[in-house]
Structure 1
Amino acid sequence: MAPVSDGEFQFINGLAVTVYGSGEPVIMSAGLGGLGAYWRPQLSALSGYQVVLYDHRGTGESARDIGDDYSAADLADDLYRIITGLDLDSAHVVGHAAGGIAGLQLALDRPQVVKSLTVVNGWAKADRHFKRCFDIRLGIYEAGGPEAYLRAQPIFLFPAEWISAHLDELDAQAAHHAAGFQSEATLRARIRALAEFDISQKLEEIQTPTLVIAALDDMLVPVRSSVALSDGLPDSQFVGLPWGGHACNVTVPEDFNGYLTEFLKVVSQQDQG
């Protein structure tokens, strides 16, 4: 794979955005953690594209104030601000969990700017188990602050064997991110937006070519949520990874990248066709 070059950093409407390479634009939107760096395992595989990473509003280097009525529409609006801020007509959107919700909402609101959509461990309507997991995580934050939350986070994201093999690295990352982690108020608002998201009766309106990727062992978002999402979309294909957990693009990047790049190639060929 080609080496990853340094990206060009800029602020767009309060969002910290980094652009890598050139070619068809691919905007990658992270999950609840919100950090663009989450997608670094995909950068080499996408070397033929203009890859756009960004920190969600309220996280990382982006503006911290998200307001009290934060919703999926706000997540989608930020994606749109990036597209217009970079003077793009449209872009492929790749979203993990919360980022997938952002992409789905954007495809509903402004379908003309979404060339294709990839949703990783996402949903059309939040599952009860998902909501319970976030109640538990919020309780950990309330009791022990961001340090405790970040130390517990791998349990929800990765398979146990992978955690054991990467424990020192995970602990170092938790310590590094704790000081600048999103506030409890922001985290609660973002979780509420995800829990209230429900487009289960609107899926037929989304005509965007969509790849739905799910890990069968995801313990945070049940795989049936991804299956239901894919089944309800008019132009969708489903890929079930047998192992990898919620953050499967990190744990099994070669498998993940293979499915993603093949999908993007097919969509591009169809557009040119």
Structure 2
Amino acid sequence: MAEADGLYWEDHGPREAPVLLLSSGLGGSANYWAPNLTALAQDHRVLLYDHRGTGRSSRELPGDVTIEAMARDVPILLDAAGVERATIIGHAIGGMIGLAAALATPGRVERLVVINGWAKLDPHTARCFDTRLALLRDSGVRAFLHAQPLFLYPSAWISGHHAQLMDEEEAQFAHFPGAETMQRRIAAARRFAPGDALKDIGVPTLFVVAEDDMLVPPHCSGPMRDAIPGAQIARMATGGHACNVTRADHFTMWLLDWLDGEEG
């Protein structure tokens, strides 16, 4: 556990192993990756962090809260860890941060994995964000957090993990970054649209999608895969938006197979 320019970060796994930088989605917490950490850290050095403005990182946000601004934290973290390049594995907003970092600082990104992300806001996702923002503004933080699993997980998984989700809701409520910060983060995600610039990404890239994602339709990854030379797409039939959590063993095995192939 360490700090770099206001960013809380963690370092796991063998120090001389290939480096993975994991970036979470809207919540911004390093804890999101707990179901995957042990397996990934066996043969990789894994860097985790709380996004600026969230969790244990500084709650002060720059004036330009954009995905591109969030991507400027990537070289700060790599410098703090003493590494030149890393594979960025990002979920949703975290994946978009990876895309922006690969465009802005290509020499720092070795490979890229984007889980249920997008490069152009889909009307369905916009409608989901509208609903979540209405809950936050009109009903408060508790209602916003209580509804959150509906957008992240399949219904059967929610039913089977009710007690766990209630405990997580309490923890998230205690550490909520504030309504203004959350609204600014959602606004940044909605505006992200790299367009034709994606063709300039020259690192091995894998898009992971879940067919039953409630928040981001799986078709959002197709245009990104087509735009980036050599990019691949892997589809999970089930798992929901947070498929690396709900199907952690399957996801991690799949990811390690791809990483091993690229490292070999």
Aligned runs of 1:72-111 on 2, under 5 Å? 72-111=67-106
Which residue, out of 220, 227, 249, partners 1:254? 249
| TM-score, normalised via structure 2 length | 0.96
Partner of 2:258: 263
- In the other structure, the counterpart of 1:126 is 121
Equivalent of residue 143 in structure 2, options 141, 148, 153 = 148
**Structure 2 portions without partners, runs of 5+:** none
Superposed CA offset, 1:118-174 (max 9, x none) = 000011111111111111101111123221111100000000010011011101110
Q: Are 1:43 and 2:41 counterparts?
A: no
The one of 207, 211, 221 equivalent to 2:216 is: 221
Q: Which amino acid aligns with 1:83?
A: L
Q: CA deviation at 1:68?
A: 3.6
Question: Where does 1:131-210 land on structure 2 (aligned, <5 Å)?
Answer: 131-210=126-205
User: How much does 1:15 deviate?
Assistant: 0.6
Structure 1 spans left out of the alignment, 5+ residues: 1-8
Amino acid at match of 1:63: S
Q: Retained in 2: the 8 A contact 1:69–1:189?
A: no
Q: Give the 3-state SS of the residue equivalent to 2:224 in structure 1.
A: helix
**What TM-score results when the alignment is normalised by the length of structure 1?**
0.93
Helix, strand or coil: the match of 2:140? helix
**1:27 pairs with 2:21:** yes
Alpha-carbon distance in 2 for matches of 1:31, 1:127: 17
In 1, the alpha carbon distance for the partners of 2:22 and 2:64 equals 24
The offset of 1:69, in angstroms, is: 2.2
Root-mean-square deviation (CA), in Å? Answer: 1.0
SS at match of 1:244: coil
**TM-fit CA distance, 1:221:** 0.5
Aligned to 1:3: none
User: One-letter code of the match for 1:217?
Assistant: D
Q: CA deviation at 1:258?
A: 1.5
- 2:187 maps to amino acid: R
Aligned length: 261
Percent sequence identity is 39
Q: Which moved more, 1:199-208 or 1:31-40?
A: 199-208
* Cα shift at 1:238: 0.5
Q: Distance in 2 between matches of 1:166 and 1:71?
A: 33
| Cα distance in 1, alignment partners of residues 139 and 36 from structure 2 | 33
Secondary structure in 1 matching 2:72: helix
Q: What letter corresponds to residue 262 of structure 1 in structure 2?
A: D
In structure 1, the partner of 2:5 is 13
Q: What is the DSSP-based 3-state SS (H/G/I as helix, E as strand, rest coil) of the residue aligned with 1:202? A: helix
Question: Does the Cα contact within 8 Å between 1:68 and 1:189 map onto a contact in 2?
Answer: no
Establish whether residue 67 from structure 1 lines up as the match of residue 67 from structure 2.
no
Q: Which amino acid aligns with 2:84?
A: D
**Is residue 215–residue 246 contact of structure 1 (8 Å, CA) maintained in 2?**
yes
* Secondary structure of residue in 2 paired with 1:245: coil
